[in-house]
């Protein structure tokens, strides 16, 4: 007679250290990102580092610094797929690695490059049917459900969410317990520049559009400016707190979406406790693997898609360096290229790249003739649609190099426009 679900759940309960039973020399372990990181399991791995040999931990967006990230655990090597404040210095010092990628491609790349042996994640408590949920972070780990065994940390404070993020106890080789608040990032400071940029973007979002909007000061202001809109939908990489006000005000309904009508589609949620309470047990919000949510073909199925993402620097060709200034890395590509491409493939879609025209002290232009030497091009010139600063909107798609150059100079900080014009002439662009 097959064991009952309660018996299966009880039988799989283990101390965090039991994860070591499933790890051998050279094991490749996929670690969930941010609030999905299983801290107790990682603590157990680091404590046993002297017994491990060549184990690699693959993770995007680590939420906190760790000895394994700093290269202090001989048996473990951290492999980052998106740098965070917890990993930047370690990467620059050579203590951990970074894999270039588009977010939508991470599950496939992990299969090819790592052939994962185990996935570790923080999850919600199981329901009566034996299902855990990946809570706020489906991301790349959800893509391995039913394919790779999981060892999970059940966090009593992880909200149960719905979508393609349901993990049955039969796919779990062990689970341990934790009771830890989710991380609430500090609210970004908002400036008049941010409000001006947001205004330019918001007026170009029609009623009935489907939105992908990142997190940060400008995205928050864009959402705050949409209060008079109607029947908006959401298909986004990260579902942030700013969306909640629009849902509760009846602005976001999803009734005009072509896919998942009436549903908010995302792969992760990051923000305030109010946001985490909103997504908990909410069937109107679905979390799916990133190779679904960020697939440009899926994005393009929404005919009035609008994507809003930030960058650090834009050159006259429209190339966007969103992950590094020169060769100094800050993050990685993330989903920006995925959504930029998907939005322009959408029948009536549009994509917006936003940035301040200059540094905070107005001493360095962020509109430049050429990107800094060594800069990583995150979103390349052929798929950049609109570039927005506090001085206006430059429409680049379908424009000549000369037109692009003029339009970008027109939205540069006034202090730099004459110099930029002279440099464009020297380059032969004007």
Q: Both tokens of residue 50? A: 């002297």
Strand order in the sheet with 264-266: 162-163, 285-287, 264-266
Predicted model pTM: 0.95
Q: Which helix (H) or strand (E) holds 118?
A: strand 118-123
Q: Which residues are CB-contacts of 419 (< 8 A; sequence separation ≥ 6)?
A: none
Average pLDDT for runs of 10 along the chain of length 430: 81 91 96 97 95 96 95 95 94 95 96 95 96 98 98 98 97 96 89 95 97 87 95 97 95 98 97 97 98 98 96 95 81 88 97 95 95 89 96 97 98 98 96
Q: Give the other-Cβ count within 10 Å of 341's Cβ.
A: 25
Q: In what order do the strands lie in the sheet with 350-354?
A: 233-234, 210-213, 305-310, 350-354, 386-389, 392-395
Taking the C-alpha atoms of residue 1 and residue 230, their distance in angstroms, rounded to an integer, is 55
Burial of 157 (0-12, 13-18, 19+ CB in 10 A): middle
Exposed, middle or buried, 258 (CB in 10 Å: 0-12/13-18/19+)? middle
- Taking the C-alpha atoms of residue 105 and residue 37, their distance in angstroms, rounded to an integer, is 20
The predicted structure's pLDDT at residue 1: 66
Q: How far from chain centre, in Å, is Cα 264? A: 16
CA atoms within 13 A on the CB side of 345: 14
CA angle 43, 181, 187 (to 5 degrees): 115
Residue 322: predicted pLDDT: 83
Strand partners, 211: 234, 306
At 159 the three-state DSSP class reads coil
The C-alpha atoms of residue 54 and residue 1 are separated, in whole angstroms, by 41
Tell me how far apart the alpha carbons of residues 194 and 221 are, in angstroms, rounded to a whole number: 7
What are the backbone dihedrals phi and psi of residue 338, each rounded to the nearest 5 degrees, phi first? -60, -50
Parallel/antiparallel/unpaired status of strands 328-329 and 320-321: unpaired
CA nearest neighbour of 158 among 42, 268, 36: 36
| Residue for token pair 């540094």 | 359
| pLDDT score for 344 | 96
Sign of CA dihedral 94, 96, 97, 102: negative
Biggest CA-to-CA distance, the chain: 81
How far apart are the C-alpha atoms of 389 and 368, rounded to whole Å? 13
Q: What local confidence, expressed as pLDDT, does residue 148 receive?
A: 97
* Three-state secondary-structure class, residue 166: strand
How many CA within 13 A on the CB side of residue 407? 20
Cα gap 399→362, rounded to integer Å: 28
Q: In 223-365, at which residue ranges do the beta strands (DSSP E only) sit? A: 233-234, 238-239, 264-266, 268-269, 285-287, 305-310, 313-315, 320-321, 324-325, 328-329, 350-354
> Which residues neighbour 392 within 8 Å (Cβ) at sequence distance 6 or greater?
200, 410, 411
Beta partners for residue 167, in sequence order: 132
- Active-site positions read 237
């Amino acid at each position: 007679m097959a064991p009952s679900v309660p018996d299966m759940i009880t039988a799989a309960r283990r101390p965090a250290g039991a994860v070591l039973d499933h790890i051998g020399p050279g094991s490749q372990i996929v670690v969930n990102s941010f609030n999905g990181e299983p801290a107790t399991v990682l603590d157990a791995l680091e404590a046993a580092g002297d017994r491990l040999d060549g184990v690699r931990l693959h993770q995007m967006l680590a939420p906190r610094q760790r000895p394994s990230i700093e290269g202090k655990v001989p048996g473990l090597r951290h492999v980052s797929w998106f740098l965070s404040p917890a990993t930047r210095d370690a990467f620059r010092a050579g203590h951990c690695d970074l894999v270039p990628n588009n977010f939508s491609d991470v599950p496939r790349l992990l299969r090819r490059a790592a052939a994962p042996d185990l996935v570790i994640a923080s999850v919600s408590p199981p329901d009566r049917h034996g299902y855990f949920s990946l809570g706020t972070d489906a991301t790349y780990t959800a893509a391995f459900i039913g394919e790779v065994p999981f060892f999970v940390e059940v966090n009593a404070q992880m909200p149960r969410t719905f979508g393609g993020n349901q993990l049955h106890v039969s796919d779990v080789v062990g689970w341990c317990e934790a009771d830890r608040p989710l991380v609430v990032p500090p609210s970004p400071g908002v400036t008049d520049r941010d409000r001006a940029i947001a205004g330019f973007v918001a007026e170009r979002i029609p009623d009935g559009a489907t939105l992908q909007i990142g997190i940060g000061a400008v995205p928050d202001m864009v959402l705050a400016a949409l209060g008079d809109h109607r029947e908006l939908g959401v298909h986004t990489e990260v579902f942030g707190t700013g969306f909640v006000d629009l849902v509760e005000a009846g602005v976001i309904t999803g009734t005009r979406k072509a896919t998942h009508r009436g549903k908010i589609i995302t792969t992760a949620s990051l923000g305030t406790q109010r946001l985490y309470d909103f997504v908990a047990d909410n069937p109107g919000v679905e979390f799916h693997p990133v190779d679904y949510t960020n697939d440009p073909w899926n994005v393009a199925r929404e005919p009035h898609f609008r994507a809003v993402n930030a960058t650090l620097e834009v050159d006259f060709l429209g190339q966007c360096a969103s992950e590094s200034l020169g060769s100094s890395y800050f993050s990685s590509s993330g989903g920006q290229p995925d959504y930029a491409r998907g939005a322009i493939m959408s029948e009536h879609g549009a994509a917006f790249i936003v940035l301040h025209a200059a540094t905070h002290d107005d001493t360095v232009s962020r509109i430049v003739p050429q990107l800094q030497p060594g800069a990583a091009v995150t979103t390349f010139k052929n798929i950049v649609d609109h570039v927005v600063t506090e001085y206006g909107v430059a429409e680049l798609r379908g424009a000549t190099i000369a037109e692009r150059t003029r339009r970008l100079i027109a939205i540069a900080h006034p202090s730099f426009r004459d110099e930029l014009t002279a440099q464009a002439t020297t380059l032969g662009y004007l």
